[in-house]
Amino acid sequence: MKNTKTDVLVVGGGAGGMAAAVSAAKEGAHVILLEREDAVGGVLNQCIHNGFGLQFYQQELTGPEFSYKLEYELRDKDVHVVCGSYVRYIDFSSNSVYVISPSGAQIITAGAIVIATGARERPFGALLIPGDRPAGIFPAGLAQRYVNLENHLPGNRALILGSGDIGLIMARRLTLEGMEVAAVVERMPYPGGLTRNVVQCLEDFGIPLLLSNTVTRVRGNGRLQSVEVSEVDEQFNPVSGKERSFEVDTLILSAGLIPQVEDYVRDLDTDPVNKGLSVSNTCETNVRGVFAAGNNVAVFDLVDYVAAEGWIAGRHAAFNALGKAHQSQRIPVVRKGMVGVLVPNMVDPNEHLRIYLRLKAPMDKGKVIIRELEIEKSFVYGVPSEMIQLVVNKDKLDRIRDLNKLTVEVLS
């Protein structure tokens, strides 16, 4: 068994992890990047549509192109990538990471760790949808993998549950590849994905979007035969008499992403609303020297944000590992009003602050207020699916140094 040492160890080779590895290496750290699949890129590899990179690279890219640009930078730097690897256990007291891969089992001891494990899809089983348990029910990402990378179609006629971005993208993809998409069903009264995706993936193809509807039963012995859809009231309870049946052999689920944090919750704090790891604006968790970035912190709407956060995480992980980190301060960030998902959860006033937030519900207009910093930013037509981003220069953070919290509030 090998024992290896490195400055920075990054767990996860998606957009966040790759960006972290590149930025850590840029700061002079030796980096090991662990990736579970045979190639880095994460979910970007199967997102063959465009719309990525407008912020991070200032150009519109497909998922694989975005991934390739980061990968290209990785190869250029002092980063050792271990593909096909699996982290069995992390001992946070010594930053020892127990790694299993086809090339062997090794214990990697790192100066700092960046956890960039992303999110997983909420599986069918977790939804407690009554009925049979037939084949033909796919999380949208798995269906996307089958169609775009494994060259196989999941069925003939599909219904899509959930109007998150992956669901919308898959509605278009399956239609383009010759499947019929009967409808996209969303239990909320508004779509879960980006507006541009509703337009480009559903409206352009005449696919109905049934808001305030959900799947109430699946039927089929062997393969899926039909799906019962019902209108729901404000508490999401089915309204009786408002059911209809769709004869479909495929049900695609886009029912939300869950940050992959379960392996770390014994040691690392999580945020109850984000359901991800709690981090500061340097992407550090509650454990010194352990950083997190991307969808395991909160589910971001754009890969650009994930890469940007990964970049920050990697930089600070390198500072930490190389003994260049300053003594940091951490002021808790609290929510008020209509603020749902909110990143970060702590602020170090010595560093720039990037705030990402999601509204709890759509708002025609409103403003984001941070009283302690005398910031007020107005917006119109805010929806939960699109994050609101605010950047605060560190020069302005001096005044909060002695405060015990920073309040981020959204008012109408």
Q: Is 154 in the site for other proteins (CB under 8 A)?
A: yes
Closest CB 170 distance from other proteins, rounded Å:
13
Q: Is 135 in the site for other proteins (CB under 8 A)?
A: yes
Q: Which is nearer to other proteins, 261 or 302 (CB)?
A: 261
Q: Which is nearer to other proteins, 126 or 361 (CB)?
A: 126
Q: Which residues of 310-319 are buried (b: 16+ CB within 10 A; e: fewer)?
A: bbbbbbbbbb
378 half-sphere exposure, CB direction, 13 A CA radius: 3
From 180, 145, 138, select the one nearest 162 (Cα to Cα).
Answer: 138
* CA–CA distance, 318 with 117 (Å, rounded to integer): 19
* CA–CA distance, 325 with 321 (Å, rounded to integer): 8
Among the listed residues 4, 65, 109, 153, the single contact to other proteins using CB under 8 A: 153
Q: What is the 3-state secondary structure (H, E, C) of 179-231?
A: CEEEEEEECCCCCCCCHHHHHHHHHHHCCCEEECEEEEEEECCCECCEEEEEE
* CA–CA distance, 88 with 264 (Å, rounded to integer): 11
- Total residues interacting with other proteins, rule: CB under 8 A: 53
Instruction: Please spell the DSSP secondary structure of 283-347, one letter per residue.
Output: -B-SSTTEEE-STTTS--S-HHHHHHHHHHHHHHHHHHHTT-------EEEEEEETEEEEE-SEE
Q: Is 63 in the site for other proteins (CB under 8 A)?
A: no
Q: Is 156 in the site for other proteins (CB under 8 A)?
A: yes
Q: Is 8 in the site for other proteins (CB under 8 A)?
A: no
Q: Which residues, listed in sequence order, are joined to residue 115 by a DSSP beta bridge? A: 11, 292
Q: Is 94 in the site for other proteins (CB under 8 A)?
A: no
Q: Is 310 in the site for other proteins (CB under 8 A)?
A: no
Residue 169, helix vs strand vs coil: helix
* CA–CA distance, 110 with 7 (Å, rounded to integer): 5
Q: Is 68 in the site for other proteins (CB under 8 A)?
A: no
Closest CB 47 distance from other proteins, rounded Å:
16
Q: Is 91 in the site for other proteins (CB under 8 A)?
A: no
* CB-based contacts of 200, cutoff 8 Å, min separation 6: 172
Q: Is 265 in the site for other proteins (CB under 8 A)?
A: yes
Here's the x/- map for other proteins, 13-52, by CB under 8 A: it reads as -----------------------x----------------
Among the listed residues 39, 126, 199, 361, the single contact to other proteins using CB under 8 A: 126
Q: Is 12 in the site for other proteins (CB under 8 A)?
A: no
Q: Is the Cβ–Cβ distance between 250 and 138 less than 8 Å? A: yes
Residue with tokens 């869950």: 258
Q: Is 264 in the site for other proteins (CB under 8 A)?
A: no
Closest CB 70 distance from other proteins, rounded Å:
21
Closest CB 121 distance from other proteins, rounded Å:
5
Q: Is the Cβ–Cβ distance between 359 and 379 less than 8 Å? A: no
Q: Is 128 in the site for other proteins (CB under 8 A)?
A: yes
Among the listed residues 139, 167, 314, 344, the single contact to other proteins using CB under 8 A: 139
CB atoms within 10 A of CB 182: 20
Q: Which is nearer to other proteins, 50 or 156 (CB)?
A: 156
Closest CB 368 distance from other proteins, rounded Å:
28
Q: Is 388 in the site for other proteins (CB under 8 A)?
A: no
Closest CB 166 distance from other proteins, rounded Å:
11
Q: Which is nearer to other proteins, 142 or 325 (CB)?
A: 142
Q: Which is nearer to other proteins, 51 or 238 (CB)?
A: 238
Q: Is 152 in the site for other proteins (CB under 8 A)?
A: yes
Residues binding other proteins (CB under 8 A): 1-2, 36, 84, 86, 88, 98, 100-107, 120-121, 123-126, 128, 130-136, 139, 141-142, 145-147, 150-156, 177, 216-217, 219, 221-223, 258, 262, 265, 275
